Amino acid sequence: MAYQTLQQEYLQIPVVTRAYTTACVLTTAAVVRLIQVFSVRQVWRLITNFLFFGPVGFNFLFNMIFLYRYCRMLEEGSFRGRTADFVFMFLFGGLLMTIFGTFVSLVFLGQAFTIMLVYVWSRRNPNVRMNFFGLLNFQAPFLPWVLMGFSLLLGNSIIVDLLGIAVGHVYFFLEDVFPNQPGGGRWLKTPSIIKMLFDTPEEDANYNPLPEDRPGGFAWGEGQRLGG
């Protein structure tokens, strides 16, 4: 009975969030080690460098919680019914990180990708108030910077966080800001082949999404919209 309940809960997770989170957990559990990203004979390393989060421990669990939470809220919120656009954001962000990562000698980009997802969500939900471990109150757009400060306290390199923030900002600017500017336009357009593969005309009537305006569930992620 418990297994069936767990299976049902797992299958209710949106497809992109479910696939990416599962891949991250399985890859990290297998301790996949990347020797170099641009190996001609091992092209798969271009993908697995976004799936490996280091040894299983506090840092891994911390990243998995944020990855699952904010990836799911994006997919069920601003990308609801737009799976193809969500996948295209993954591809666009992954490509930019791969390019930028070569200049700062970064091989493992999973944490940076998580920060990118957090950044995009936070900018699209500017009025959500957050609480970090019950110690710090702030509005959602400051969340990526708070996480970067937390990484610094843990002794981690903030280059990874800065990369995620930079790529997230590029996507947010091109997708949400520039098209609304005088003389602006949409530079990011999801290819039709991706739309054909991922977009479906009908939604599951039994689908039970998480409310995007409640990023809580954990002391550092709870929040509510201003005026709510």
pTM of the model: 0.73
Find the range with the poorest average confidence among 141-150, 173-182, 200-209, 215-224: 215-224
pLDDT band at 117 (very low <50, low <70, confident <90, very high): very high
For residue 104, which of 33, 174, 166 has the smallest C-alpha distance? 166
Q: Within 10 A of 140 (CB to CB), how many other CB atoms are there? A: 20
**Helices assigned H by DSSP within 104-158:** 110-124, 143-153
* Average pLDDT along the chain: 76
What are the residue ranges spanned by the domains of the chain?
12-198
Q: Within 10 A of 176 (CB to CB), how many other CB atoms are there? A: 13
> For 48-80, how does the pLDDT look when each residue is reduced to its tens digit (9 = 90+)?
666 666 666 677 787 788 788 888 999 898 888
98's tokens? 């791969």
Three-state SS string across 30-59, please? CCCCCCCCCCCCCCCHHHHCCCCCCCCCHH
How long a stretch of residues is the chain? Answer: 228
Asked whether the predicted pLDDT for residue 116 surpasses 70, the reply is yes
Find the range with the poorest average confidence among 46-50, 130-134, 160-164, 219-223: 219-223
Residue 132 DSSP SS3: strand
